[in-house]
């Protein structure tokens, strides 16, 4: 849905073409062509594999703004629907932020009476919304499950972190702040043996067993789904490609994270 507008503008693409929209010095993965969908696409517009390797994007296909957007959209939907926090899509976020900034400038340069300027600006605000909402949903989860998330994060190693640096700092600050507030209002007035506060016992846990709607992007075989009845055996399930199911989140958590299935 976000790409539709780029197709509309195809015939007159010179007016807002790549050279205007993309700053030549945009660094790293933002050096992508934004109108992959358009007829302007020539081999020279797509990045070479070797370039991508330098950029740290090891995908076989060259990354275009459209594909980044699509992938980010999936990540956003997953994040919005999953009960626990997923790993931070830092590359996509940075890339989109650069793109937005750049397109913002270009849209501003356009004649205001031009119909396309309005359409572009609206499309841009939609992408912006997607980005801010992604970050917002993550913050909400961090605030709600601060302790659980911080605990899990501290057990992860350098390359495998789920939070961005800013989010991690925010989580720590938020946790400390809330602790201090509880301490000063209530805990310090409690009789001494009760005055301790054990967040492990009292904090809210994400509802990992809540049911989610999922769609398999690839075929999955032998998925184990636990049953509620202790006497029955756990169910084993095969998911066909593109099939949709309602399953407890805990049974598919790993598959959501590696991108085999997505939440819907």
The footprint of another protein (CB under 8 A) covers 97, 101, 118, 121-122, 125-126, 128-129, 131-133, 135-136, 139, 143, 165-167, 169-170, 173-174, 177-178, 180-182, 184-186, 189-191, 193-194, 197, 202
Q: Give the shortest CB-144-to-another protein separation in angstroms.
A: 8
Of 13 and 139, the one with the shorter C-beta distance to another protein is 139
Of 57 and 127, the one with the shorter C-beta distance to another protein is 127
The four Cα atoms 127, 128, 129, 130 give a dihedral, to 10 degrees, of: 50
Token pair, residue 16, equals 């807002």
Q: Give the shortest CB-87-to-another protein separation in angstroms.
A: 18
Q: Give the shortest CB-165-to-another protein separation in angstroms.
A: 7
Q: Give the shortest CB-58-to-another protein separation in angstroms.
A: 26
Token pair, residue 18, equals 């790549």
Distance CA 262, CA 75 (A): 9
Of 113 and 189, the one with the shorter C-beta distance to another protein is 189
Of 26 and 135, the one with the shorter C-beta distance to another protein is 135
């Amino acid at each position: 849905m976000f790409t539709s507008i780029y197709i509309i503008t195809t015939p007159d693409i010179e007016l807002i073409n790549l050279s205007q929209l993309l700053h030549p010095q945009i660094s790293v993965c933002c050096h992508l062509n934004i109108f992959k969908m358009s007829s302007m696409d020539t081999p020279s517009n797509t990045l070479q594999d070797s370039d991508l390797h330098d950029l740290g994007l090891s995908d076989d296909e060259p990354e275009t703004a459209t594909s980044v957007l699509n992938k980010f959209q999936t990540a956003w939907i997953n994040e919005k629907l999953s009960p626990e926090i997923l790993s931070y899509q830092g590359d996509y976020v940075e890339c989109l932020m650069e793109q937005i900034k750049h397109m913002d400038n270009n849209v501003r340069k356009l004649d205001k009476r031009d119909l396309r300027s309005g359409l572009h600006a609206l499309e841009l605000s939609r992408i912006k919304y997607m980005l801010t909402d992604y970050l917002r949903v993550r913050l909400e989860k961090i605030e709600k499950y601060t302790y659980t998330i911080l605990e899990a994060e501290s057990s992860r190693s350098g390359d495998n972190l789920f939070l961005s640096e800013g989010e991690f700092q925010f989580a720590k600050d938020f946790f400390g702040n809330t602790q201090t507030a509880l301490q000063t209002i209530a805990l310090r007035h409690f009789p001494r043996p009760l005055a301790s506060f054990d967040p492990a016992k009292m904090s809210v846990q994400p509802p990992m067993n809540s049911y989610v709607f999922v769609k398999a992007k690839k075929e999955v075989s032998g998925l184990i789904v636990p049953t509620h009845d202790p006497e029955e055996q756990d169910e084993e399930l095969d998911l066909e490609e593109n099939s949709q199911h309602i399953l407890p989140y805990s049974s598919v958590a790993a598959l959501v994270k590696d991108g085999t299935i997505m939440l819907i």
